[in-house]
Amino acid sequence: MSRSSAASKPSSAGSNAPQAFLWFERRAVPVMRRVGELPFVEAVRYALPWSFIGLAVAFVAVLAVQLRSGAFSGPSLGLRVAGALLPAFGVMAATLVVLLALRLARAAAYPPVPMLAGSVACFALALPHPFGPDPVAYLRVLGASGLFIAILACGATAGLTALLRRGIDVKLAGWIGPALAIAAFAALPLAHVSLAAAIGEAMQPISRLGDTYLALVVIVLAQTLLWTTGVHGPAVLATVVTPVYLTMQMQNTHAYATHAPLPFVVVVSLFLFVFPGGAGATLPLAVLLAVSRVPRLKKIGRMTLLPALFNINDPLIFGAPVVFNPYLVIPFVLAPLVLATLTYVVVAVGLVSRAAFYVPSSVPTLISTYIATQDVRAIALALTNIAVAGLIYYPFVRAYERHVVAAA
């Protein structure tokens, strides 16, 4: 039997994996998989990545307008980026509410027109007041709470529709549910309730809890453990993790733009240091396989090396394979935990600046970490993390090679 088939069987992993892995696989994974398959969670997971298109387009547009008007004739490039990125997050929120409403309608078989109209109307009614004459300045204000407002607006519309579907005709519920949601959101200003302010207050304790080493380790551990069982860890956690840490990232950007100390260590861009090559910190794994003495592993490594440079490692995870592979599961989980610890300590004590800007994970690690922090020392930390991950992977890759040769 070839090593690829042997390594990919759950029974192989079960006979060698620690009891904690087995418990996670048998108990936690089925629950997380069921949660990940809920229509609302699936819709958020789909809509969030696509909403970044709105952020990118708005960022380029605002930056071009501000450069043309001379609004940033003096400040550094970092301040110019901050000035364009903050309002772009507001556009991202508006994009999200549209995409999420349409995806929810498709996932739950709701009429798309009332779902979209209801969600957009609820989003508009919940926007922070006053609007002000400057749209760019207003978008900066919206960015701090916009993602959560979009998710709540769509969630309320879909939730009321789901409740009504249990007692009345499906098509009728699809129209009445959004109408009730609009009425509820319209009542908020009359009751002197600001949803944006409430989200801001709720974010304070969440931010304090999320900006800790423990929170970082829990997220990293959950993502990698889910991947080892074949479940897309970031996708499952994105519904909760991404809006929270992206909002904290925006607050760092705002602090940078106002020359204030950056408040948070753990933000979205911090994970650029933790996952070079993608989940599991697999860039050094791809390099080690690319120079392997085993022809099949060398072929896999060379085929997946270029994607790994852009932090895309799905082909490597399922091609090596890492999933259900007792030889690679341990370093796949261990390496990110070590890198998370090293990164958190280095950034928390100030040896490397905190991440001020959001940078897509598809940007190569050495470039993205520098852009996010505007600190050349970030490149040294990223190189150190890659080397440390390589040292962790090395003995396990060599053991895997010996097993493949013996099983051939």
- pLDDT, position 5: 39
Residues 6+ apart with CB under 8 A from 327: 7, 396, 397, 399, 400, 403
- pLDDT, position 67: 73
What's the chain's length in residues?
Answer: 408
- As a whole number of Å, the CA-based R_g of the chain is 23
Query: Angle at CA 401, nearest 5°, toward 399 and 404?
Result: 110
Instruction: Report the alpha-carbon distance of residue 386 to residue 381 in Å, rounded.
Output: 9
- pLDDT, position 256: 92
- pLDDT, position 405: 84
Percent of the chain's residues with pLDDT above 70? 88
**Structural domain boundaries in the chain:** 3-28+265-407, 39-193
CA-nearest of 209, 230, 215, 228 to 335 is: 228
Q: Give me the chain's average pLDDT, please.
A: 85
CA-nearest of 177, 155, 179 to 167 is: 177
Over residues 347-363, the pLDDT tens digits come to: 999 999 999 999 988 89
Residues 6+ apart with CB under 8 A from 231: 29, 32, 33, 36
Write out residues in the chain with pLDDT < 50, as ranges. Answer: 1-16
- pLDDT, position 271: 95
